């Protein structure tokens, strides 16, 4: 039975290619090249053949194409969670690019668990993906070994680590966070707290904390341990962190946050607690999500071109698989977007002035 099925599929495939070739007015060899190696034919020919494929309703047999080319034209991506706007935006950009060059994307999640990421990578490789897009540069040692042993190309997205022997594309998170903290320092704030994402298995969150801390240290600003709170990426947890920090007898006058969602939670809780932003509290985010410019007050934040970052990750793998010269480390620029949530510290609104408290 198996043999008959293969023969029938092969027969249908040949008939389909002939129909596409006749409709497009080209040879079956041209159709085959356009389907299996789109970059080897002109854009005009690709378009003509694509229209013919759609017109006759031909569906190329993926397994047969993979056997002939030793490629499935499929990439896998493992992200920590789908419950994050930045990941959704990035995956959408990656999917759009891959579709434009005839690739398909398989997506899985790890939940910030290195063992789970390793297992998902095994699953994707067993299903024949040609390459992997991984989030960050914090991975299980067994995953690195497996990728080396199987010669599966991969790229770390969302980080820029030119000191590492692995391909990456992303922003220098430490430098970007340093710029964010320097903004409130330049506004005159010296009582600055941090609400970061959980740092475990998250090198992006750790790098941002390092950047915040470096800015404070360079300016002789102390960060008491109680002024740094780590939370998951949720509004509820961010609000709880803000409730705690604003309830301190020696509360900060400014908070720098690990991402915009955390900043939203901080701002919501501050407002509910009777504080006026930025008069009583300056807040800085990171990512520049769509809502950040629509809030009132709008959020000062670090803008990172997420779509471009993930598209470049796809471009790297596609070009690498095509045997083209590629750049291993690609830095994506960031920008500080100053909006309404930050303002110079007014002496009359300085928490220390009202409470008469000195940091110890």
13: its two tokens:
């495939």
In this prediction, residues 174-191 reach a mean pLDDT of 98
| Cβ–Cβ < 8 Å for 48, 21 | no
345: its two tokens:
């510290």
Please state the pTM of the whole predicted model.
0.78
DSSP states along 102-164: T-EEEEEE-TT-HHHHHHHHHHHHHTT-SEEEEESS---HHHHHHHHHHT--EEEES---TTS
Domain boundary among 33, 54, 69: 69
Contacts of residue 163, defined as CB under 8 A and 6 or more positions apart, other chains included, come to none
Q: Both 282 and 178 in a single domain? A: yes
pLDDT confidence of residue 71: 75
SS3 302: strand
pLDDT confidence of residue 352: 64
pLDDT confidence of residue 67: 45
State the chain's mean pLDDT as an integer.
89
Half-sphere exposure of 314 (CA within 13 A, CB side): 28
Q: Both 317 and 230 in a single domain? A: yes
In this prediction, residues 77-84 reach a mean pLDDT of 92
Which CATH number belongs to the domain containing residue 286 in this structure?
3.40.50.2300
> Helix 260-272 and helix 235-246: axis angle, to 10°?
50
In tens, the pLDDT along 314-336 reads 999 999 999 999 999 999 999 99
pLDDT confidence of residue 70: 62
Q: Both 311 and 346 in a single domain? A: yes
The β-bridge partners of 329 are 168
266: its two tokens:
């901080």
Reported confidence tier of residue 6, pLDDT bands at 50, 70, 90: very low
In this prediction, residues 262-275 reach a mean pLDDT of 97
Residues in the chain: 360
pLDDT confidence of residue 233: 87
Reported confidence tier of residue 199, pLDDT bands at 50, 70, 90: very high
Q: Both 50 and 161 in a single domain? A: no
In tens, the pLDDT along 105-153 reads 999 999 999 999 999 999 999 999 999 999 999 999 999 999 999 899 9
Q: Both 49 and 133 in a single domain? A: no
Poorest-pLDDT segment among 57-66, 223-232, 260-269, 322-331: 57-66
In tens, the pLDDT along 331-340 reads 999 999 999 9
Q: Both 107 and 203 in a single domain? A: yes
Q: Both 292 and 162 in a single domain? A: yes
pLDDT confidence of residue 300: 98
Q: Both 101 and 56 in a single domain? A: no
Q: Both 45 and 130 in a single domain? A: no
113-120: long-range contacts, CB 8 A cutoff, minimum separation 24: 113/201, 114/138, 114/139, 114/140, 114/143, 114/201, 115/140, 117/78, 117/143, 118/142, 118/143, 118/146, 120/78
| Cβ–Cβ < 8 Å for 158, 170 | yes
Contacts of residue 320, defined as CB under 8 A and 6 or more positions apart, other chains included, come to 131, 153, 326
pLDDT confidence of residue 38: 81
pLDDT confidence of residue 353: 55
pLDDT confidence of residue 11: 46
Q: Both 118 and 54 in a single domain? A: no
What residue numbers bound the domain in which 359 lies?
Answer: 74-360
50/166: higher pLDDT: 166
In this prediction, residues 52-66 reach a mean pLDDT of 65
Q: Both 9 and 156 in a single domain? A: no
Task: Give the chain's domain count.
Answer: 2
334: its two tokens:
């960031």
pLDDT surpasses 60 at 1: no
The β-bridge partners of 197 are 231
Q: Both 41 and 98 in a single domain? A: no
Which CATH number belongs to the domain containing residue 34 in this structure?
1.10.260.40
- Interstrand relation of 301-303 and 335-337 (parallel, antiparallel or unpaired): antiparallel
Domain boundary among 40, 69, 98: 69
11/196: higher pLDDT: 196
Return the percentage of the chain with pLDDT > 70, whole number: 89
Poorest-pLDDT segment among 52-61, 68-77, 116-125: 52-61
């Amino acid at each position: 039975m198996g043999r008959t099925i293969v023969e029938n599929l092969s027969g249908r495939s040949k008939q389909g290619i002939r129909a596409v070739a006749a409709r497009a007015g080209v040879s079956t060899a041209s159709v085959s090249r356009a389907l299996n190696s789109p970059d080897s034919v002109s854009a005009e020919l690709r378009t003509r053949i694509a229209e013919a494929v759609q017109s006759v309703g031909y569906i190329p047999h993926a397994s047969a194409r993979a056997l002939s080319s030793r490629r499935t034209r499929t990439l896998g991506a493992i992200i920590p969670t789908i419950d994050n706007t930045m990941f959704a935006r990035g995956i959408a950009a990656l999917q759009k690019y891959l579709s434009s060059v005839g690739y398909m994307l398989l997506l899985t999640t790890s939940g910030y668990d290195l063992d789970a990421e390793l297992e998902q990578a095994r699953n994707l490789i067993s299903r024949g993906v040609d390459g992997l897009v991984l989030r960050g540069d914090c991975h299980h040692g067994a995953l690195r070994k497996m990728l080396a042993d199987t010669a599966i190309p991969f790229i770390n997205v969302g980080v820029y680590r030119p000191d590492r022997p692995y391909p990456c594309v992303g922003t220098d998170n430490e430098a970007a966070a340093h710029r964010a903290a320097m903004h409130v320092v330049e506004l005159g704030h010296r009582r600055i707290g941090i609400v970061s994402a959980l740092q475990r298995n998250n090198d992006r969150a750790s790098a941002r904390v390092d950047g915040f801390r470096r800015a404070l240290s360079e300016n002789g600003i102390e960060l008491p341990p109680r002024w740094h709170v780590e939370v998951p990426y949720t509004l509820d947890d961010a609000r709880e962190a803000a409730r705690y920090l604003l309830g301190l007898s020696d509360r900060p006058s400014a908070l720098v946050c690990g991402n915009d969602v955390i900043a939203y939670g901080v701002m919501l809780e501050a407002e509910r607690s009777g504080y006026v932003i930025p008069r009583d509290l300056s807040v800085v985010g990171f990512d520049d999500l769509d809502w950040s410019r629509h809030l009132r007050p709008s959020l000062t934040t670090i803008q990172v071109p997420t779509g471009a970052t993930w598209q470049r990750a796809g471009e790297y793998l596609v070009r690498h698989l095509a045997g083209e010269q590629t750049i291993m480390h690609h830095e994506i620029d960031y920008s500080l977007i100053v909006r309404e949530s930050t303002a110079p510290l007014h002496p009359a609104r300085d928490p220390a002035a009202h409470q008469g408290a000195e940091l110890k």
